[in-house]
Structure 1
Amino acid sequence: MKMQLLGTALLSAAMAVGVAGQVQADDFPSKPLTLVVGWGAGGSTDIQARVLANVLEEQLGQPVNVVNQPGAGGGVALSRLAVSDDEGYTFVFGTSMTITFGPLSTETNYQLDDFRYVAGVTLGQSAIVTGEDRPFGDTWDGLIEYAKENPGTSYATQTALDRMIIEYIAQQEGLDLRIVPTSGGAGMAPLILSGDVDFAYSGGTHSGYADSGEMPVLLGLAEDRLAAYPDAPTLQEAGYDINAAEIRMAMVPKDTPDAHVERLAEALEVATQDERFIEITEERILMPVTWMPEDEVTQTLDDQVAGYKALLEELGGLPQDEE
């Protein structure tokens, strides 16, 4: 009888703990969240993140504070996330290239499997861009011809991946370029618009100039031609066998509880159907809105890492820094 009562008591205690844990999971979030953007204020990722935060606040019932932490092509933000232990209350909204190529190109305190990829919400429209009235015009072939005849043609880079791509192209085409590091689209745009650099990488800032024509696109880095610049060839069409397709997504530390990840994913899925997010993404930034669940995003990132490793082996190593 005593053993039966003891068993009943233990069962009741276990059920109580389980119920308490479920209540705690159901309460997420019970305090404000922090959305970290690994790029400076004013760039396309930042603009999109601020609208996303507004939608998420309504869905999650808690403030979502946007914090900009630029540096290392988004790597500084991921370094912060890698040591976060607040179970999803801090998450990064960023681009896939930071996690797929960053750890391959430099020493980091994180790797691909240090995070969970809650959901992808946007397909990137990254590009190689230039400004108006350049001596080579607004075509990729024109730029290549000009750069061959003018050593020191300048290129503004933002990320480790775009730097690798341009180093690969320079090697293939026999170019001697001057590389100018910048931090985000807000840092790149003034250099292009003023004519201080000849061409540059853009993660999406160029979309703000689609109507004015102030920032022509020379080359698209997505798998398909860019929605707003259908005349610009893709990397593959230009003869470069590189898949640099980008996903914009939310990331949390790998030990974030399943219930928290699921709650964030639900809110993000609603955001992809929200008119405000669609408007800022598809009409202003000119990027397709999508919905990619965690397993699909994770598999896509795994495949890209394998592709980049193979490309680096083909190149014989990483891009060399400028003296």
Structure 2
Amino acid sequence: MKVKLLGSALLASAVALAGTGLAQADDFPSKPLTLVVGWGAGGSTDIQARVLADIMSEELGQPVNVVNQPGAGGGVALARLANSRDEGYTFVFGTSMTITFGPLSSETTYDLDDFRYVAGVTLGQSAIVTGENRPFGDSWEDLVAYAQENPGTSYATQTALDRMIIEYIAQQEGLDLRIVPTSGGAGMAPLILSGDVDFAYSGGTHSGYAETGEMPVLLSLAEDRLVAFPDAPTLQEAGYDINAAEIRVAMVPQNTPDAHVERLAEALKAATEDARFIEITEERILMPVTWMPEEEVTQLLSDQIEGYKALIEELGGLPGQE
């Protein structure tokens, strides 16, 4: 009888513990969350993140606090996230370039497999831009023709990725360019607006000049033509087989339980349908809102990494790294 009673008690305890575990999973989140931005306050990623945090707080029933951890083009935030055991209570909102190209261009403590990609919510609008009153106008074809006839045509670069892309284009078109390193859009804009450089990479600064026309777009680096500059061709339309499309993604550590990822995805989906997020993204930042679930994002990032590896091999290494 004692054995039977003991067995019944153990079974009851096991059921109770299992129920507790399910309750814990179902109760996520049961405490405040932290949304980390790998860039400084005031930039477009940070602005979006703060609106996302407000909407997600409402959806999840818990505060979502935004923390900025700038450095290494978003890499500092991802390095810290890779070692996190918060199981979704801490997540990063950042750009795909940090995970696809960062580990290929520098030593990092993370790679694609260290994270789960909850969802992609915004399509990037990076571009190759120029200024007003250039000899080649605002035509990519005319810029190429001009640069072929004028060795030393100047290009302002901001990232290792755009430097690689322009090096590939230069090889394809037979261009001898003068490369001018700059620090972010704030460093690039004065050079373009003053005419000190002929053309440049822009991650999004050009959107602020959409109405004035002071910074025409020559080439879209997105998968499609840019929302604010629909006349500029894409890389593919210009004849370059490169997929440099950027997407802004929410990421959690690889050890995050499925239930937590799904709950975060639900909150993010609601945000992409919320007028506040749509307004700040599409009307202020001029980037399209999208919805790309985990499996699709992961495949996109994996494909881009393989494409970048092939491009680096074709170039014989990364430009600027002897």
TM-score normalised over the length of structure 1? 0.90
**1:1-323 alignment to 2 at 5 Å?**
1-148=1-148, 149-151=150-152, 153-157=154-158, 159-173=159-173, 174-183=175-184, 185-321=185-321
Q: Secondary structure at the match of 2:212?
A: coil
Q: Is there any run of 5+ residues in structure 2 with no aligned partner, and where?
A: none
Q: Secondary structure at the match of 1:227?
A: coil
How many residue pairs get aligned? The number is 320
**Structure-2 change in CA distance of 1:18 and 1:143 (3 Å):** same
**Structure-2 change in CA distance of 1:17 and 1:37 (3 Å):** same
- The one-letter amino acid paired with 1:284 is R
Question: Percent identity, aligned pairs only?
Answer: 78
Per-residue CA deviation, residues 138-176 of structure 1 (Å, 9 max, x unaligned), is 22234334444151613131x332221122123333223
Given that 1:127 and 1:217 are in contact with CA atoms closer than 8 Å, whether structure 2 keeps it comes out as: yes
Given that 1:88 and 1:252 are in contact with CA atoms closer than 8 Å, whether structure 2 keeps it comes out as: yes
Q: Is there any run of 5+ residues in structure 1 with no aligned partner, and where?
A: none
Per-residue CA deviation, residues 267-293 of structure 1 (Å, 9 max, x unaligned), is 000001000111112222222211111
- Once residues 99 and 284 of structure 1 are traced to their aligned partners in structure 2, the CA distance between those partners, rounded to angstroms, is 26
After superposing the two structures, state which structure 1 stretch, 262-271 or 68-77, moved more. Answer: 68-77
Given that 1:156 and 1:199 are in contact with CA atoms closer than 8 Å, whether structure 2 keeps it comes out as: no
- Once residues 60 and 161 of structure 2 are traced to their aligned partners in structure 1, the CA distance between those partners, rounded to angstroms, is 34
Q: Secondary structure at the match of 2:23?
A: helix
CA apart distance, 1:266: 0.7
- The one-letter amino acid paired with 1:176 is L
**Structure-2 change in CA distance of 1:200 and 1:75 (3 Å):** farther
After superposing the two structures, state which structure 1 stretch, 312-321 or 116-125, moved more. Answer: 312-321
Runs of 4 or more, structure 1, over 6 Å off, are none
**Structure-2 change in CA distance of 1:61 and 1:133 (3 Å):** farther
Q: Secondary structure at the match of 1:128?
A: strand
CA apart distance, 1:218: 1.1
- Once residues 187 and 245 of structure 2 are traced to their aligned partners in structure 1, the CA distance between those partners, rounded to angstroms, is 22
Given that 1:170 and 1:177 are in contact with CA atoms closer than 8 Å, whether structure 2 keeps it comes out as: no
- Once residues 307 and 284 of structure 1 are traced to their aligned partners in structure 2, the CA distance between those partners, rounded to angstroms, is 32
- Once residues 189 and 56 of structure 2 are traced to their aligned partners in structure 1, the CA distance between those partners, rounded to angstroms, is 29
